Amino acid sequence: MRGAIKFLVPAILIGLTACLPNPEGPTLDPPGTVDEPSDPGDPEAFDSNFNSIQINGDFSGISWTPTDARNNLTLIEDNLWQIWASVENADFADNNLTFKFTHDGDWAPDNFGAGDSPGQAILDGNPSDIILDFPGPRGFYAFWLNDETLQYSFEPDIAEGTLSGTFSFEGADPGPVGLTLWATGGQFDVELWSITATGSFEFGELADSLYTVVATAPGYGTVTQENIRVEDGSSENVLFEFTGGSDDSAVPDQPWATPIIDGTLEGEWTEVYDDGGHLGLWNLVNMDYDALHASWDGDSLYLAVSGNFAGTYNSLNIYIDADYGEGSGLSDLSLIQGEDDYAPVINRLNKLVDFAAVPEFGAEFATSTWGHVDLELSSLAADGTAVTLGRGAIAASEDALELSIPWSLLYPGLGGDGVVPPFAQIAVFALIGSNSDSAMSDDSLPLVDNLNAPDAVVIIPVDEDGE
């Protein structure tokens, strides 16, 4: 999600339908309302059958390790324990939420598992996991366990608070600002959402709690707003003021190194992404990425990919966004077209890949190789028209592909070589393909789950100080 963001916390009660069929089984009556939990007061003043209770599961901020302090529930009434937990989308991808309760920080001699009906646990050796039919959505949930009756319950944090904000920059606007929202009113700080926004942002349907927002703007650093009180139905607005900035041009920051473009990956390169040893299916035909590298000097940007490129019948494609964050350029690679005499390169660059999930990305340049020798750098218009810029400084081998692009080509009209826009960011996406728009290896830089709809690109900050 980008731009104006709403954090969606559930506004409905999710019923318990545990792994046994009776949906009308007993559930625990929670104390008070969910969005205004009881004050735990002094836990030593309450009676309980155990020194501590833990929830153990697959959802965010919780582990399957009973000794993990994050798993501890708080005793809020006689025999009644409670914890607030953040449940992320990935935690219930199969529409199930799986967990168990333990006591005194150990699985032994017994632990709490699924009983004979929903909402009823048993404490008998090592019973089955509690599995809830849980379609979502993500958000804050309160979990309770009564250690006397062994009844458990959970409910969403129903709330309608709003937290919004705007940005003010002393210098040039750097584009997208990174934002992280933390809930800080509970036992542990919980990260709720990390997003980017331009101009303004909004987090909606928030619980009655304290929040912290951390904002990071390229070239300006980080500004933090803490202890923001949001109440049910209230609307809070904060202003992030960033000092610093520059004029309409800047010089690139370090590394300021000039590699030799010869396909050997020797010299002063900086590795900006490593795929962690991932082997794509086309590794069987000797085509596989390992890492992306970058460097630059006063004249040019230098990019390289490394890996196993001994195969000679597939293409290495690199798509480059010179002004990441502006949303300009080409986002749907299936639109790439060109003159008939440029058809071989068009066929390689044209792919069924759409960056709709990364709206800040739009490629203005691309390169494609075939058999280490057929090398082309192309410009890409927003309508998909590709124009060859010739071979230029590009070299490939069985181990690496290297290229250089002059700053004057990436940023024309700035008045000369060696200058870039303030806070300039380059974004890169690399894939391995063939002559068909659908023929691609399950290998890319960065790695993504769905190559037809990537949700990530490699971002390279070229100028972070705006000067």
Give tens-digit pLDDT for 172-223.
Answer: 777 778 888 887 755 456 666 778 888 899 988 777 678 889 888 776 778 8
Find the mean pLDDT for residues 25-31: 35
Q: How many CB atoms lie within 10 A of CB 384?
A: 17
Pairing of strands 425-433, 315-321: antiparallel
- Please check whether residue 139 lies inside any domain of the structure: yes
- Please check whether residue 174 lies inside any domain of the structure: yes
Are residues 179 and 225 in contact, defined by beta-carbon separation less than 8 angstroms?
no
Same domain, 234 and 371: no
Same domain, 290 and 405: yes
Q: Which of 137, 156, 175 is the last residue of a domain?
A: 156
Q: Exposed e or buried b for every residue in 333-355, given b needs 16+ CB within 10 A?
A: bebbebeeebeebbbbbbbebeb
* Most confidently predicted of 37-46, 223-232, 239-248: 223-232
Dihedrals φ, ψ of 307, to 5°?
160, -155
Token pair listed for 49 = 């059958």
- Please check whether residue 251 lies inside any domain of the structure: no
- Please check whether residue 441 lies inside any domain of the structure: yes
Find the mean pLDDT for residues 234-242: 90
Residue-number span of the structural domain to which 170 is assigned: 161-242
Same domain, 305 and 359: yes
Cα–Cα distance for residue pair 87/85, rounded to 1 Å: 6
Q: Which of 156, 186, 216 is the last residue of a domain?
A: 156
Find the mean pLDDT for residues 418-431: 87
Give tens-digit pLDDT for 354-363.
Answer: 999 999 999 9
Cα–Cα distance for residue pair 117/99, rounded to 1 Å: 16
Token pair listed for 69 = 């302090």
Token pair listed for 239 = 């202003």
**3-state secondary structure (DSSP) of residue 53:** strand
Cα–Cα distance for residue pair 57/65, rounded to 1 Å: 9
Cα–Cα distance for residue pair 9/261, rounded to 1 Å: 51
Give yes or no for residue 166 having a pLDDT over 90. yes
- What ranges in 368-458 are assigned the alpha helix state H? 407-410
Nearest alpha carbon to residue 240 among 195, 190, 178, 162 = 178
Among the listed ranges 52-56, 129-133, 199-203, which one has the minimum average pLDDT value? 129-133
Same domain, 393 and 297: yes
- Domain total of the chain: 3
Cα–Cα distance for residue pair 144/155, rounded to 1 Å: 9
- The CATH code of the domain that includes 185 is 2.60.40.1120
Q: Which of 141, 156, 171 is the last residue of a domain?
A: 156
Same domain, 237 and 143: no
What is the pLDDT, as a whole number, of residue 30? 37
Same domain, 170 and 127: no
Cα–Cα distance for residue pair 94/101, rounded to 1 Å: 21
- Please check whether residue 256 lies inside any domain of the structure: no
Same domain, 311 and 380: yes
Same domain, 275 and 410: yes
Are residues 441 and 282 in contact, defined by beta-carbon separation less than 8 angstroms?
yes
Cα–Cα distance for residue pair 64/130, rounded to 1 Å: 13
What is the pLDDT, as a whole number, of residue 322? 92
**pLDDT band, residue 265 (cuts 50/70/90):** confident
Rounded to whole angstroms, what are the CA distances from 393 to 206, 263, 301? 53, 10, 11
Give yes or no for residue 94 having a pLDDT over 90. no
Give tens-digit pLDDT for 442-453.
Answer: 999 999 999 999
Find the mean pLDDT for residues 125-131: 91
- For residue 76, what are the contacts with CB-CB under 8 A and spacing of at least 6? 31, 37, 38, 39, 40, 41, 43, 46, 82
Same domain, 296 and 415: yes
Cα–Cα distance for residue pair 141/137, rounded to 1 Å: 10
Omega into 109 within 30° of 0, i.e. cis? yes
Give tens-digit pLDDT for 303-325.
Answer: 999 999 988 778 899 999 998 98
What is the pLDDT, as a whole number, of residue 361? 93
Q: E strand or H helix at 349, and its extent?
A: helix 343-349
Global pTM? 0.51
**pLDDT band, residue 429 (cuts 50/70/90):** very high
Q: How high does pLDDT run on average in the chain?
A: 79
Same domain, 437 and 294: yes
Give yes or no for residue 284 having a pLDDT over 70. yes
Cα–Cα distance for residue pair 184/213, rounded to 1 Å: 10
- Please check whether residue 30 lies inside any domain of the structure: no
Same domain, 206 and 282: no
Same domain, 284 and 339: yes
Find the mean pLDDT for residues 19-45: 37
Nearest alpha carbon to residue 214 among 263, 260, 180 = 180
Are residues 61 and 188 in contact, defined by beta-carbon separation less than 8 angstroms?
yes
**pLDDT band, residue 347 (cuts 50/70/90):** confident
Omega into 446 within 30° of 0, i.e. cis? yes
- Please check whether residue 257 lies inside any domain of the structure: no
- Please check whether residue 97 lies inside any domain of the structure: yes
